[in-house]
Amino acid sequence: MKLLLRTPSLVHAAHCENVLRAAGIQAEVRNTWLAGAAGDIPLQESAPQVWILDDSTEADAWAVLNAAANPRPGPHWQCRHCGEWHEAQFAACWRCGQPQDQAAG
Ligand SMILES: [Zn+2]
C-alpha cells in the first residue's frame, strides 16, 4: 500500500480512483469517513487520500493521472491485439499493454 495523493475534494479523489482502476491499477480512496468529524483534525490529515495497493505501480499511476488531466485530442483507437477501445490520451492498451502505434493502423 502506498499513499499516492491527498486532495481536499472527495469528487477529485473518486475521479482519480476511477481513472486508475480503468487503467488496471488497483487504487482506493481513504479518509472519506472523517469528513464529518474533521473538527480537531488538521485539514491535511482529514483530506481524502488516494492509495495504490501495489507500490510498484506508482510511476504508472502518475502517468495515467497526468494523461487524464491533459487529454490529447484525437479519435478513439482500437487495440489490434485484443480489440479493446481506448481514449486518445492512452498511449498503450490498458488490457494487454500493446502500444498504440503498433495497435492502430
Ligand atoms: Zn489490447
Same domain, 53 and 20: yes
Residue 27 has pLDDT above 70, yes or no: yes
Same domain, 45 and 82: no
Residue 103 has pLDDT above 60, yes or no: no
Mean pLDDT of the chain: 83
| Burial degree of 3 (CB within 10 A; 0-12, 13-18, 19+) | exposed
Same domain, 29 and 45: yes
- How much distance in Å is there from the Cα of 90 to the middle of ligand 1? 12
- How much distance in Å is there from the Cα of 13 to the middle of ligand 1? 27
Residue 59 has pLDDT above 80, yes or no: yes
Same domain, 82 and 63: no
The residue length of the chain stands at 105
- How much distance in Å is there from the Cα of 83 to the middle of ligand 1? 6
The residue with greater pLDDT, 60 or 104, is 60
Same domain, 62 and 81: no
Can you give the residue range of the structural domain that contains 25?
A: 1-70
Looking at the structure of the chain, the number of domains it has is: 2
- How much distance in Å is there from the Cα of 35 to the middle of ligand 1? 39
The residue with greater pLDDT, 3 or 36, is 3
Nearest to 75 by CA among 86, 93, 92, 88: 88
- How much distance in Å is there from the Cα of 95 to the middle of ligand 1? 5
Same domain, 44 and 12: yes
Same domain, 66 and 77: no
